[in-house]
Amino acid sequence: MEYSGKVIWITGASSGIGEALAEALAARGAHIILSGRRTAALQAVADRLPTESLVLPFETTDRDALPGIVERAIAWKGQVDGLVNNAGISQRALAVDSALEVYDRIIAVDLLAPIWLTQLLLPHMTARKAGMIVGISSVAGRAGVPLRTAYCAAKHGLIGYLDALRAETEVHYGLKVHTVLPGSIRTAVSANALAGDGSAFGRTDSAIANGMDPAECASRILAGIDAGEPEILVAEGIEDMIAKLRMSDPLKLFELVGQMGGQMAAKRDEELAG
């Protein structure tokens, strides 16, 4: 995709992968619509970009507000050429300790919200027979891993939606649909994740602390898009292996993550026993 002069809309754009993608795409000449909940943080990103940008804050789960938000996005330059559904929230709790509200919240933010936004923008893109839709899923969207049952459910669902959408829109309407599967990226995803009671986990786990730099992640995502890859895996080490095992040797994967989960569950029971 040639980005110069194109309008790319990014949710979750105030930090992490979203911020890095905004910077990388603006460096290629794209005009960026920056969305998220934190207006000041979005404006700080906008102030650094070398191209025109629109700060368009909103709550992704506010379904009633979304039609008006989409109208404003299209009206800014008369078109939206690309949508990057990046906003999301993770989880750090075993299923046995997770309240039902955790599932409601994570599935609303990570699955239903990007579906709603994409569905509202889809008529604009299909009418033009042009557009790019990118969904930031996760390695946890390809393989079920411990401490993330709600997150895995949502991210698996997002992959399914995007795969089906690609089948419907690529040939006739000319849309490009890309699913991204990041592993651990050095962002605030762990600190902002939900604990079992729905509160913020509040700390960065070691995998995230030692994860890939967001700028490197953004570079790999754009390289995958440039190469026309429908599914873009951005992971290293054991996370890269886990994602690939799900396709090549699922039984081996189930054994591996089962051992991991078993150790976590045993530790949990030991701590409860005092």
Q: Which two tokens stand for residue 249?
A: 């040797």
Residue 151 is among the residues annotated as catalytic for this protein:
yes
What's the CA gap between 33 and 109, in Å, rounded?
Answer: 19
DSSP string, 81-147: -EEEE-----B-S-GGG--HHHHHHHHIIIIIHHHHHHHHHHHHHHHHT--EEEEE--GGGTS--TT
Beta strands in the chain (DSSP E): 7-10, 31-34, 53-55, 82-85, 132-136, 176-182, 231-234
Q: Which two tokens stand for residue 166?
A: 């690609």
Single out the residue of 157, 141, 165 nearest to residue 233, CA to CA: 141
Single out the residue of 229, 90, 88, 230 nearest to residue 151, CA to CA: 90
- Encoded amino acid at 239, one letter: E
What's the CA gap between 20 and 125, in Å, rounded?
Answer: 25
Write down the residue that tokens 């039609």 correspond to. 67
CB 95: neighbour CB atoms within 10 A?
16
**Of 3, 103, 151, 161, which one is the catalytic site residue?**
151
As annotated, the active-site residues are 151
